[in-house]
Amino acid sequence: MASLEGIVKLGTNRYNIRVRATCPRTGRRKEVERVRECTLTEARALQRQWRDEMSESLRSGEKAPRLRLRDFVTAWLDGRKEKIKRTTALKIADVWDGHIATAVIADLYVDEITLEDVERWIAALRAKTYIPGKGNTSKRKTRSKRSEPRHYSSGTIKGYYRVLAQILKAACARARVANPCDGVEPLAAGKRRKNFLALDEVGNVLAHVEKHSPAWYPAVLLDVVSGLRWGELSALRWDDIDEAEGVIRVRRGNDKGRVVDSTKTGDDEDEPKIVPLLPQVAEVLSARRKQMVADQHPGLAEGWIFPTEKGTLHKGSPLRDVLDAACADCKTKRRITTHGLRHTANDLLRRVADGEVVRAIIGHSTPQMTHHYSHVDETEKRTAATRAFAVVIGGKGGNTGGTNDNEAASSSSSDVKNPALLRG
């Protein structure tokens, strides 16, 4: 039988036509072989036509292999390890392992996941219960009276959903399909627990810490006036303090006793986050350094400002008991954590500075986060209302002069003793 460039004559006006093409972008090859009753001229024309059609099909790209959500997440998490903070990556992995991978939605193809599938996952999460204190990290072997099964809070469910939504957004973009989360009604976060010190409480708490926990007073004071995260505060070295420039350069973080060579909001690894160093704080830090030198503290070898007694980084926050005792003695009526001091700094700065300035000091990336950390109290509301409606009420019972909101708010707490901020 005669053969010509993929055309094989099988008989009179009967040809076997073979067509091959290679995708110029991927190098993938495709081949088609067909038998037709035609003349040789017609066979050649069909071969050219099929080759053009095949090349166009390869050039436009075939659909990517379908992926189940579980298979996508494995590669997605591996690719993000070096792009996000380690603790953030661990939290995402924990939510996936504990609350998504165990659900039906994890085994669905990405292009088959619907709005109803997401809503069913949320409903199942709301129905789940857990026993407080019985996790792997607690090491508890017996139940307490409070360790009865309970449902997840609205805020916890919203946090878990954010992880699923983030995963689905990336998966759907990869598969070029609509994101089912676009139709989900916004989830309520529930009531926010007050975790900040009011203006008239800051000085009293600082005074208590200075008197009863003097070793931790510099850390609490610095946290209140800088708003540093505990991971940033506990990883400060003495060479980060620049008294001549009046700044603190935050270059690293502390992840459970492990040094992280960047901060959470650091956009440029070569540029540290800069926060102001107030003279009163510099004086307190200087006194701490002199005491560490006098005691020949082991932490001086690495230059840590707030190390453990062995001179290493803290794996947790030792300020919890310090703050609990201060809040109880000062009757704040609520528990304040180390992160609550960050809320406090944000709130005090917001009263006197522009939002951009607040974000630059605190380290927020969006105005929404700065707003989330803000807590407007009754004094601010009353002062604003008095000034706004002074014309309507004729200035009765209020200040219509030149005193601004910040001065009015400050004057309401003039009886608060703040030894560090009033010193000098």
Compare 51 and 384 and report the one with higher pLDDT: 51
Per-residue pLDDT band at 269 (split at 50, 70, 90): low
Residue 299 has pLDDT above 90, yes or no: yes
Residue 225 pLDDT more than 80? Answer: yes
Q: What is the CA radius of gyration of the chain?
A: 32
48 band by pLDDT with thresholds 50, 70 and 90: confident
Tens-place pLDDT, residues 52-68: 887 777 666 555 577 89
Report pLDDT digits (tens) over 163-210. 999 999 999 988 888 999 998 988 877 666 788 888 888 899 999 999
pTM, full prediction: 0.58
* CB neighbours of residue 414 within 10 Å: 7
When pLDDT is averaged across residues 279-308 and rounded to a whole number, the result is 94
Residues 6+ apart with CB under 8 A from 98: none
Side-chain half-sphere CA neighbours of 128 within 13 A = 19
Q: What value does the mean pLDDT of the chain take?
A: 78
Higher-confidence residue of 12 and 21: namely: 12
Give Cβ neighbours of residue 252 (< 8 Å, ≥ 6 apart): 232, 235, 259, 260, 261, 262, 263
The least confident of 237-251, 340-354, 370-384 is 370-384
Contact predicate 294/284, CB 8 Å: no
User: Contact 199/377 with Cβ under 8 angstroms?
Assistant: yes
Distance of CA 394 to the CA centre of its chain: 48
pLDDT at 295: 94
